[in-house]
Amino acid sequence: MWIAEDWKDYEVIDTSGGEKLERWGRYLLVRPDPQVIWQTEKREKGWKNPNGHYHRSSRGGGEWEFSDLPKTWDIRYKDLTFHLQPFQFKHTGVFPEQAVNWDWFREKIKGADRDIKVLNLFAYTGGATLAAAAAGAQVTHVDASKGMVTWAKENAIASGLGEAKIRWLVDDCVKFVEREIRRGNHYEAIIMDPPSYGRGPKGEIWKIEDSIYPFIRLCTQVLSDEPLFFLINSYTTGLQPAVLSYMLNTEVVSRFGGHVEADEIGLPVTSTGLVLPCGASGRVVF
């Protein structure tokens, strides 16, 4: 398992009964986590008086309960700064487990000793975009949500990357890649973090089980002849590391060479010393 263990402003303190107790900077949050199917005694005092608690509804969705929590606050990961804000579907604006991938491809970019263009698809609030830009890459950031792209721009400014070579685009990822193919544009690295289900700005439907394989095939058409890496993240139960590995071997390695590394990603849990699984990643290394 690849573990994001270099955080100082974030930690998973404890997990039990479908929830996790987390520290985000100075503030404690309790959020649901479907991986936490175990029931252990909640001894950590933060469980009783968190600053924010997201309560799952039996009808789907849920709502936040707050206690002395600001509307927004910042945390840092190394040289990157992120604005946080609790919003719908329990999220805060950062997936901390992805730091293990940020560190990995930052080293790849720095060690390439050439200009690297990165395409970040389903780019959310820009964690991967900022990590790649900080390493010296030219990044194209694509997300269907205008609000998420605006948030990512604010994170870039807060991280001192307001003038970095980042192209910000609000667009449907599939349609954008199709246009890039027609334009003849290519990238040395591709990052994608596709949702299980989503809609584009014009109502385009994305269902990952049906869409991910043809989308990987489509993206190979904008991959440079001298690629650096290809990274897919998955939070969908059916897309385990072996599935990611199979797709990447079939569509990417068969055409460009390289080899696939695929594994679960996770976060250390302070109270137990164990690791909370948080999805999977597949990497093609050239």
Q: Is residue 89 part of a domain?
A: no
276 touches 269 (CB < 8 A): yes
Residues 80, 112, single domain; the answer is: no
Q: Above 70 in pLDDT, residue 48?
A: yes
Which among 54, 84, 114 is the end of a domain?
84
Residues 166, 262, single domain; the answer is: yes
Q: Is residue 140 part of a domain?
A: yes
> In angstroms, rounded to a whole number, what is the distance separating the alpha carbons of residues 84 and 155?
10
pTM of the model: 0.94
Residues 208, 251, single domain; the answer is: yes
Please give the full DSSP string across 107-142, using - where no structure is assigned: HHHHHH-S--EEEEES-TTSHHHHHHHHTT-EEEEE
Q: Is residue 193 part of a domain?
A: yes
Instruction: Tell me the per-residue pLDDT of 121-165, one tens digit each, with 9 for 90 and over.
Output: 999 999 999 999 999 999 999 999 999 999 999 999 999 999 999
Query: What average pLDDT is seen over the chain?
Result: 95
Residues 80, 199, single domain; the answer is: no
Residues 248, 112, single domain; the answer is: yes
Which among 84, 104, 123 is the end of a domain?
84
Residues 60, 121, single domain; the answer is: no
Q: Is residue 24 part of a domain?
A: yes
52 touches 90 (CB < 8 A): no
Residues 50, 139, single domain; the answer is: no
Looking at residue 203, its pLDDT comes to 73
Residues 49, 122, single domain; the answer is: no
Residues 247, 134, single domain; the answer is: yes
Q: Is residue 26 part of a domain?
A: yes
Which among 55, 84, 113 is the end of a domain?
84
Instruction: Tell me the per-residue pLDDT of 60-77, one tens digit each, with 9 for 90 and over.
Output: 789 999 999 999 999 999
Q: What is the CATH number of the domain that holds 76?
A: 2.60.40.1180
Q: Is residue 236 part of a domain?
A: yes
Residues 151, 270, single domain; the answer is: yes
Residues 145, 179, single domain; the answer is: yes
Per the structure, the count of domains in the chain is: 2
Q: What is the CATH number of the domain that holds 248?
A: 3.40.50.150
Residues 73, 146, single domain; the answer is: no
Q: Is residue 144 part of a domain?
A: yes
Q: Is residue 91 part of a domain?
A: no
Pair type for strands 259-268 and 62-66 = unpaired
Residue 61 belongs to domain spanning: 2-84
User: Please, is 270 exposed, middle or buried when counting C-beta atoms within 10 Å of its C-beta (0-12, 13-18, 19+)?
Assistant: middle
Alpha-helix runs per DSSP H in 145-197: 146-158, 173-183
Q: Above 90 in pLDDT, residue 210?
A: no
Instruction: Tell me the per-residue pLDDT of 222-279, one tens digit each, with 9 for 90 and over.
Output: 999 999 999 999 998 778 999 999 999 999 999 999 999 999 999 999 999 999 999 9
Pair type for strands 52-56 and 62-66 = antiparallel
Comparing C-alpha atoms, which of 236, 242, 243 is closest to residue 279? 236
